[in-house]
Chain A
Amino acid sequence: MSKKVLVLGETREGALRNVSFEAIAAAKKISGDGEVVAVLLGEAVSEFGNELVAYGADRVITVEHPHLKSYTSDGYGQAFMAVVDQEQPEAIVFGHTAVGKDLSPKIASKLQTGLISDVTDIEGEGADAVFIRPIYSGKAFEKVKLKEDGVVFITVRPNNIAPLEREERSGDVSSLSVDITNLRTIIKNVVRKSAEGVDLSEAKVIIAGGRGVKSKEGFEPLQELADLLGGAVGASRGACDADYCDYSLQIGQTGKVVTPDLYIAAGISGAIQHMAGMSNSKVIVAINKDPEANIFKVADYGIVGDLFDVIPLLTEEFKKVM
């Protein structure tokens, strides 16, 4: 059983997002012996085609147009549907990113097909593939499949499906010309609030601060440790509400959901809503003055102590061994 699978690649700040490679790997599982066709939409994106092939795409189709410079559901919708019309895929994979979340339901609706969002694992292959996704803010998981012979359509949560090894592969990168018209949304401006560098949803290491951080400056030692480990800084809602940091750092039920290899929670008590955002991290370390803090219940390792003592010491120790 072989399926042709379309994968929507994404770029951010001049580079392909890691989730694009993860989506290709997911597509390979679904495709059986079939073909994985990566799709890139934007104003000037063809330069990224070869990298998608290196990570496993059999070929790449780009749609370039000035009206695709910024994402709009109308613009990307027209472009992607044109590719769908040409390729008649049997399956589609998007990353579960801002673009993926916004666009995938529109495409699924047009194709009158089911859509399985925020997939964290795939069991089986090809026609037997079953998709696993978190529900109830990660407190439970469900296994889902498509009922009949519709287009198999999923979005994959960043940082959960391992990409294929990068290899020198060859594959055609071609362009499709599409007229993009009648955009009902006009993008005026983007205010970058998130820190440059490591994307929180793709970070392998996250150092998160809670109310215990006590001030904006309190985040500085956390940032130093994150920089050393090539990670990102996150925060609990408590720290954001107290104005110690911007809400773009918030991890939790009403913030970002992250699945890093290492999550260090400093001065975070561990409210259920926060845990919903990070409980599926591979390894959790908790640092808190209060030995009864809830966070210690989910931590793999815990240090009862003052984060302002512990974090700088951690930075020093890591410097020594790395």
Chain B
Amino acid sequence: MNIYVLVKRTFDTEEKLVVSGGQIQEDGAEFIINPYDEYAIEEAITVRDAHGGEVTVVTIGDEEAEKQLRTALAMGADKAVLINTEDDVEEMDQFTAAYILAEYLKDKEADLILAGNVAIDGGSGQVGPRVADLLDINYVTTITSLEIEGETVKIVRDIEGDAEELETSLPLLVTAQQGLNEPRYPSLPGIMKAKKKPLEELELDDLDIEEDDVEAKTETIEVYLPPKKQAGRILEGEIPSQVSELVSLLRSEAKVI
């Protein structure tokens, strides 16, 4: 099976954000593989081990993204591809990312493409379904279970807490929800092997893409931090009187009940 995983490099969740000049500052920040993409990588490796084939992880970014690709290779992916847009693309949005990924994938005859259902930085969850539409293949989002039985693919997906069971077939793109699996930590032998696995670097030219073709459709005018919350009040006194005070405050001051 030809298996591809779409991976994004994101800030670590614990990072404090610094905004200056209307933009998030990246210097000194710790980067990781988007946690939802880890579920996708893990599932890809499991499917390959069960059904045979090859797992290729793909990311769009700059040279720094090689670190995340090597981590994916250390987990067990077979090949990695970096589509380096640093010199060609100034502003990228979901339209841009999907266009580039679909152009890369269009001649690969992928059987299964996996991605995380959402990136923890952008939070829009668009790229997976957009890529599937551009490739004209079916897609299923927020999956929590995947089974391939011959021609049939059996999936369970999370819809706002309910579990939906469905069937479909390959070729298919799926996006991973928490609960799909437990991503493995790269082992030391895995890390050593990863150094020798192929990591290919491509640019827009290699994909016959003109910068104009992928121009972002949306524009971020400003990024800002939410106003600092006023310090809250820790109530005092005996518990029963704190409770009375709280109810009174919620009604008269906060006005939420």
Residue of A nearest to B95 (CB): A114
* CB <8 Å contact, B126 and A146: no
Chain A nearest Cβ from B103, distance in angstroms:
13
| A–B pairs, 18, beta carbons within 8 Å | A101-B141, A105-B128, A106-B133, A114-B94, A115-B124, A116-B218, A134-B123, A137-B123, A140-B24, A140-B223, A142-B222, A145-B219, A184-B138, A282-B254, A283-B250, A313-B239, A313-B243, A317-B247
Contact: B142 with A137, CB < 8 Å? no
Query: A71 vs B190: C-alpha distance in the bound complex, in angstroms?
Result: 41
Task: Check B133–A296 contact: CB distance below 8 A.
Answer: no
CB–CB A144/B246 < 8 A: no
Task: With CB as the reference atom, state the residue of chain B lying closest to A317.
Answer: B247
Bound-complex Cα distance A146 to B166 (A): 35
A104 touches B257 (CB 8 A): no
* CB under 8 Å from chain A, chain B span 211-229: 215-226, 229
Among residues of B, the one whose C-beta sits closest to the C-beta of A229 is B257
The residue of chain A having its C-beta at the shortest distance from the C-beta of B243 within the complex is A313
- A83 CB, nearest partner CB in chain B, Å: 18
Q: Give the Cβ gap from B126 to chain A, nearest Cβ, in Å.
A: 4
- Residues from chain A with a CB closer than 8 A to the CB of B159 are 98, 190
| Beta-carbon contact of B166 and A185 below 8 Å | yes
Contact B130 A108 (CB under 8 A): yes
> Interface with A: B45-53, B72-80, B197-205, B230-238, which one?
B230-238
The answer to whether A73 touches B221, judged by C-beta atoms less than 8 angstroms apart, is no
Which residues of A are found within 8 Å of B98, using beta-carbon distances? 105, 109
Does B187 sit at the interface, judged by CB under 8 A? no
Q: Which of B13, B160, B251 contacts A273 (CB 8 A)?
A: B13
A137/B13 in contact, CB under 8 A: yes
A262 with B257: in contact, given A136-B121, A139-B225 (CB under 8 Å)?
yes
A112 to B14 alpha-carbon distance, docked (Å): 35
Q: Is the interface of B mostly helix, strand, loop or mixed?
A: mixed
Contact A318 B247 (CB under 8 A): yes
Dominant secondary structure of chain A at its interface with chain B: mixed
Interface size class for chain B? 35 or more
Count, chain A residues at interface, CB 8 A: 92
Q: Is the CB of B160 within 8 A of A136?
A: no
Tell me how far the C-beta of B119 lies from the nearest C-beta in chain A, rounded to whole angstroms: 10
Interface string of B158-170 (1 = CB under 8 A from A): 0111111111110
Across-interface contacts of B188 in A (CB, < 8 A): none
Tell me whether B140 is interfacial, beta carbon within 8 Å: yes
Q: Which residues of A contact B128 (CB under 8 A)?
A: 105
A253 touches B164 (CB 8 A): no
In the complex, besides A296-B232, A296-B234, 5 extra interface pairs with C-beta distance below 8 angstroms are: A105-B128, A144-B218, A248-B161, A249-B161, A253-B13
Collect the chain B residues with CB atoms within 8 Å of residue A297's CB: 232
Q: Given contacts A109-B133, A141-B223, A187-B166, are A136 and B17 in contact (CB under 8 A)?
A: yes
Give the CA-CA distance A113 to B220 in the complex, in Å: 15
- Indicate if A172 sits at the interface (CB-CB under 8 A): no
Q: Which of A34-42, A55-63, A207-215, A302-310 contacts B (4 or more CB under 8 A)?
A: A302-310
A16 at the interface (CB under 8 A from B): no
- Picked from B24, B138, B161, B249, the residue with its CB within 8 Å of the CB of A301 is B249
Q: With A117-B124, A135-B121, A301-B249 as given contacts, are A143 and B220 in contact (CB-CB < 8 Å)?
A: yes
A303 to B250, CA, bound (A): 13
Task: Give the docked Cα–Cα distance between A254 and B134 (Å).
Answer: 28
A186 near B167: Cβ-Cβ < 8 Å: yes
Whether A117 contacts B126 by the Cβ 8 Å rule is: yes
Residue A285 at the B interface, CB < 8 A? yes
Q: Is the CB of B164 within 8 A of A190?
A: yes
B126 in complex: contacting residue of A73, A74, A105, A138, CB < 8 Å? A105
User: B2 within 8 Å of A by Cβ?
Assistant: no
- Compute how far the CA of A189 lies from the CA of B167 in the bound complex, rounded to whole angstroms: 10
Q: How far apart sit A317 and B245, CA to CA, in the bound complex (Å)?
A: 10
* A310/B239 in contact, CB under 8 A: yes
Q: Decide if B125 is an interface residue (CB 8 Å cutoff).
A: yes
Contact A272 B126 (CB under 8 A): no
Q: Which residue of chain A is the closest to B138 with respect to CB atoms?
A: A184
Contact indicator B138/A302 (Cβ below 8 Å) = no
In this assembly, does B244 line the interface, its C-beta being within 8 Å of a C-beta of chain A?
Answer: yes
Chain A positions within 8 Å of B179 at CB level: 247
A285 contact set on B, CB distance < 8 A: 246, 250
Alpha-carbon gap, A304 to B235, bound state (A): 8
A140 engages B221 (CB within 8 Å) = no
A110 to B98: give the CA distance in the assembly, Å: 12
> Is the pair A283, B223 in contact by a Cβ cutoff of 8 Å?
no
Complexed CA–CA distance, A294 and B78 (Å):
42
Query: Would B225 and A140 count as touching, CB distance under 8 A?
Result: yes
